[in-house]
Amino acid sequence: MKETLSQPLKITKSTTTKINSVDFENINFGKLFTDHMFACHYVNGTWQQPEIVPYQPITLDPSARVFHYGQAVFEGLKAYKDSKGDTFLFRADENLKRINKSAERLAMPEFPEEYFNKGLSELLKLDNDWIKQGKGNSLYIRPFIIATEASLMASEANQYTFYIICSPAQSYYGGEVDVLISDYYSRSASGGIGYAKAAGNYAGQFYPTNLAKEKGYQQIIWTDSSSHKYVEEAGTMNIFFRINDTLLTAPTSERILDGITRKSIIALAEKEGYNIEVRDIEVTEIIEALKNGTLKEAFGAGTAAVVSVIKGIGYKDNKYSVPVLSDGFAQHFKQSLTNIQYNEAEDTFGWRTKVC
């Protein structure tokens, strides 16, 4: 990217803090935000000098294109604190790469690496007290880009803003989940925007997910849109199955999000000598394995939840139980991953970056 910082990052500190009113033992995901946010505007074909400002509402013209044509992409990553009080990011470079890939697909400008790295680390230094020690505590970081230009023309905007907001987090889903395999609704289609972390991909999930909830499920296992024969993702996460001692996950594609937790689990599994297959997974294969008892585990993987254990799978009118193992693959990979994230294990992959 051509833009570079021409001066130290401009920081306007908040004169007050909300932190003293926060019950850090009882955090609801994504409801509460730190004292500052990062913002950078794109005008006249260039990202302007970014700044950190007190967390505040944003004012947009009602005709801003984000409201009408959904030009919005986002990311999710976390910062972690170790027992010494040092703060770390996990594979943040991958989040930048992915938001820029998402932006390209939605005809939005890429965001400069230097702005992202500097903005994020300064923001984490400033709001560092919001990151609590202890496994399970983290700061969920939400970078996003929206089309701010006022115009109802149905074409890409000429003005955007890139923001980063941060929210203290504990776990995302409470406990194990029941998921319904979709045989009608789709999350994405070939040639579409499924691989992008685009806001609309999530909006499109809410209605079918509500229908699944009415049937007693919390999430949907998305299948390919043309035949509904192949498993793709689970809810807002990638999905893994364990059949006997083989770990299975679907390959990423233009329809499937290239999850950072997913690829970290694959890398760990390969390094640790697990038998892992990244290949198309037929729904019938999973149902068969559920019926004959060879399906030993299933779990979703994503930044917010890390690993979300699946205890039941529904397909058409049948519901099958999935074993929940206290010492299974799901627990193992969650533990290995969080040990690296919280600086409790050696990071042979170079995934962890110390911020402060």
| Site of interaction with ligand COI (CB under 6 A) | 76, 202, 236-237, 302-305
Distance CA 194, CA 202 (A): 10
Among candidate residues 158, 184, 182, the one with its CA nearest the CA of residue 41: 158
Here the tokens at position 240 are 């893994």
Task: Let me know how long the chain is.
Answer: 356
DSSP 233: E
Among candidate residues 249, 241, 179, 247, the one with its CA nearest the CA of residue 216: 179
> Considering beta carbons, is residue 87 or 236 the nearer one to ligand COI?
236
> Considering beta carbons, is residue 202 or 320 the nearer one to ligand COI?
202
- How far apart are CB 172 and ligand COI at their closest, in Å? 7
- How far apart are CB 98 and ligand COI at their closest, in Å? 10
- How far apart are CB 157 and ligand COI at their closest, in Å? 23
Here the tokens at position 303 are 């930044």
- How far apart are CB 303 and ligand COI at their closest, in Å? 4
> Considering beta carbons, is residue 143 or 302 the nearer one to ligand COI?
302
- How far apart are CB 33 and ligand COI at their closest, in Å? 14
- How far apart are CB 260 and ligand COI at their closest, in Å? 8
Distance CA 127, CA 18 (A): 11
> Considering beta carbons, is residue 196 or 295 the nearer one to ligand COI?
196
> Considering beta carbons, is residue 50 or 235 the nearer one to ligand COI?
235
Distance CA 299, CA 177 (A): 9
Distance CA 290, CA 297 (A): 10
> Considering beta carbons, is residue 98 or 296 the nearer one to ligand COI?
98
The continuous run of DSSP H or E covering 3 comes out as none
CB count within 10 Å of CB 321 equals 11
Contact 304, 167 (CB under 8 A): no
Distance CA 75, CA 300 (A): 18
- How far apart are CB 18 and ligand COI at their closest, in Å? 21
> Considering beta carbons, is residue 223 or 303 the nearer one to ligand COI?
303
- How far apart are CB 30 and ligand COI at their closest, in Å? 7
> Considering beta carbons, is residue 76 or 109 the nearer one to ligand COI?
76
Here the tokens at position 98 are 């992915």
Here the tokens at position 58 are 């944003």
- Residues 6 or more apart in contact with residue 107 via CB below 8 angstroms: 71, 156
- How far apart are CB 72 and ligand COI at their closest, in Å? 13
> Considering beta carbons, is residue 258 or 280 the nearer one to ligand COI?
258
> Considering beta carbons, is residue 87 or 238 the nearer one to ligand COI?
238
Residue nearest to ligand COI (CB): 302
Q: Identity (one letter) of the amino acid at 200?
A: G
Distance CA 261, CA 269 (A): 12
CB count within 10 Å of CB 40 equals 21
- How far apart are CB 80 and ligand COI at their closest, in Å? 15
Helix residue spans in the chain (DSSP H): 65-69, 92-105, 113-126, 199-214, 260-271, 283-292, 329-341
